[in-house]
Amino acid sequence: MSTSDIRITDIKPLSPPRNYIDAQPITPKIAETVIWARTTIENIGNGTDPRMVMLVGPCSIHDEKAGIEYAKRLVVLAEEVKDSILIVMRVYFEKPRTTVGWKGLINDPNLDGTFDMQTGLKRARAFLIEVGNLGLPAGTEFLDPFTPQYLADLVSWGAIGARTTESQTHRQMASGLSMPIGFKNGTGGSCQIAVDAMMAARSPHAFLGIDLDGRAAVINTTGNKAQHLILRGGSSGPNYDEDSVASASALLEIAGLRPNVVIDCSHANSNKDHRRQPIVFRETVRQRTEGNAGVIGLMLESHINEGNQPMGNLADLKYGVSITDACINWESTEELLLEAHAKLSQKAEALA
């Protein structure tokens, strides 16, 4: 009579992180970009760099060709606005689902339910290397606690999502990550959940994980103080308005944390309507230019073409269109970023 693995159909060995890192190594050029971006984001957070950080890009990467075309456009724009904005590309490979659905490039890279995660990790790492070679920093959400061992050396900014901010596993993981981390408010809209997560992640932890050779290990961390709160709205409604931002900032200050917030222009803040993202974007920039230095950045879901599409027949997928959350198109993205750059630069000149 077996008492183990009753509901397990298969267990497949996975190559250890070191194999991936050795086969697809980070180069000195990419390492320089990663370290520079991490440092810059920390400086923006502590107020020594006056710029805003903007996390811009597709909701998720499902087509690497379209993703790299987007990255090549974005790096040109990043250079144009660099005096007032640090652009980090959203490079999301893991998608938390409310119920079920496609879980991202790592989980199902072929979009066909074969769940070839060995290949998914390889393709994710290859994509990050291509983005890094362009000189463009990358940001991602960390969902599975093993993923950072495979990819984190190539990532400049990380997020803990609304569904996992309350998770002890993710708080512990964040305490050991090498990059600045944003914690999203809970799906119900609670910011206290994220503030608690930030307090937990600042502290040292010991927890179970894997080492670079894939062996089970006890991971000891120092704590991660490079962090901020991400306002993404919730079932209670949007939370990007001045009163909501002030309330979130007050919670951070009560906890002894810097009142730094990044506003997510998508999700509940736009009522899941991508056409409302520009409204949230412009209001965020307005709050910053009118004196709220605690609004250190924003997130924008953007792709080559607007909207989203069901997976359906893979041969019918439209190029450069999201298969997860709907995105604004490139033309709108460019317009918003150039507009923000002009307003932020004008404000900086007025203060000089």
Residues in the chain: 352
- Residue 97: pLDDT above 80? no
The mean pLDDT of 112-134, rounded to a whole number, is 97
pLDDT tens, 273-298?
999 999 999 999 999 999 999 999 99
- Residue 317: pLDDT above 90? yes
Residue range 17-351, CATH number: 3.20.20.70
> Is the Cβ–Cβ distance between 152 and 124 less than 8 Å?
no
Q: What is the DSSP letter of 26?
A: P
- Residue 98: pLDDT above 80? no
Structural domain spans, the chain: 17-351
- 219: number of CA atoms within 13 Å, CB side? 22
> Is the Cβ–Cβ distance between 319 and 63 less than 8 Å?
yes
The mean pLDDT of 98-120, rounded to a whole number, is 92
Question: What are the structure tokens assigned to 25, written together?
Answer: 């190594």
| pLDDT band, residue 352 (cuts 50/70/90) | confident
- For the chain, the average pLDDT equals 97
User: What pTM does this model have?
Assistant: 0.97
- 244: number of CA atoms within 13 Å, CB side? 23
Please give the single-letter amino acid code of residue 343: K
| pLDDT band, residue 100 (cuts 50/70/90) | confident
pLDDT at 101: 85
The mean pLDDT of 253-278, rounded to a whole number, is 98
Q: Give, in order, the Cα–Cα distances in Å from 338 to each of 252, 294, 335.
A: 31, 22, 5
> Which of 53-62, 95-104, 244-253, 297-306 comes out lowest in average pLDDT?
95-104
Q: Give, in order, the Cα–Cα distances in Å from 124 to each of 15, 76, 219.
A: 15, 23, 24
- Residue 328: pLDDT above 80? yes
pLDDT at 350: 87
E strand segments, the chain: 52-57, 85-90, 138-141, 157-160, 181-184, 206-210, 216-220, 227-231, 261-264, 295-301
